[in-house]
């Protein structure tokens, strides 16, 4: 049986969730930067040169940096997976890392709904039907 949230419980969880989402967003941004650097280091190798490596850098140096970057990326991905598992363990659905969009499962008048929140919002003040996404969210005042 799923664990349901009400608005008070969801709002009480926000400080912890906000911290997790900010960390996830930063890690995602770093993964993208590391990936881009790996591509930059290795794209010239495909063409037979190491043009984007630092001046005087050898193919061996580029390979070493690539290996270090891949290890860093794996560490970031592992940390991100742990954060997602943490949210999932609380019953919270992560919808989008870049905006910090999440849904809390709730039950209203015997029907399941989502309480919807994203980074930048002060409190959980939105909800939507299980079948709707972000575009279908409505203010709590509209909840019947």
Length of the chain measured in residues: 144
How many other C-beta atoms can be found within 10 angstroms of the C-beta atom of residue 41?
22
Q: Mean pLDDT across the chain, nearest whole number?
A: 90
pLDDT one-digit tens code per residue, 33-72: 999 999 999 885 455 444 455 545 578 899 999 999 999 9
Tokens of 12: 């009480």
Asked if residue 133 has pLDDT above 70, the reply is yes
Residue 115, beta-bridge partner list? 104, 127
Q: What is the pTM of this model?
A: 0.83
Using only the alpha carbons of the chain, give its radius of gyration.
21
| Mean pLDDT confidence for 121-138 | 94
State the SS3 of 2-39.
Answer: CCCCCHHHHHHHHHHHHHHHHHHHHHHHHHHHHHHHHH
Task: Indicate the Cα dihedral angle 9, 12, 15, 19, nearest 10°.
Answer: -20
Task: Give the DSSP H/E element, type plus range, for residue 127.
Answer: strand 126-129
The per-residue pLDDT for 44 is 57
């Amino acid at each position: 049986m799923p664990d349901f949230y009400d608005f008070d419980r969801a709002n009480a969880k926000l400080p912890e969730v906000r911290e997790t989402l900010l960390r996830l967003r930063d890690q995602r941004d770093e993964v993208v930067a590391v990936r881009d650097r790996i591509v930059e280091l290795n794209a010239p190798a495909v063409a037979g040169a190491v043009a984007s490596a630092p001046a005087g850098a050898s193919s061996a140096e580029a390979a070493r940096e690539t290996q270090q970057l891949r290890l860093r990326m794996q560490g970031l991905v592992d940390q991100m997976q742990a954060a997602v598992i943490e949210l999932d363990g609380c019953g919270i659905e992560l919808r989008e890392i870049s905006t910090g969009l999440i849904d809390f499962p709730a039950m209203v008048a015997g029907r399941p709904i989502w309480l919807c929140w994203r980074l930048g919002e002060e409190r959980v003040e939105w909800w939507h039907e299980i079948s709707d996404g972000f575009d279908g969210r409505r203010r709590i005042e509209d909840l019947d």
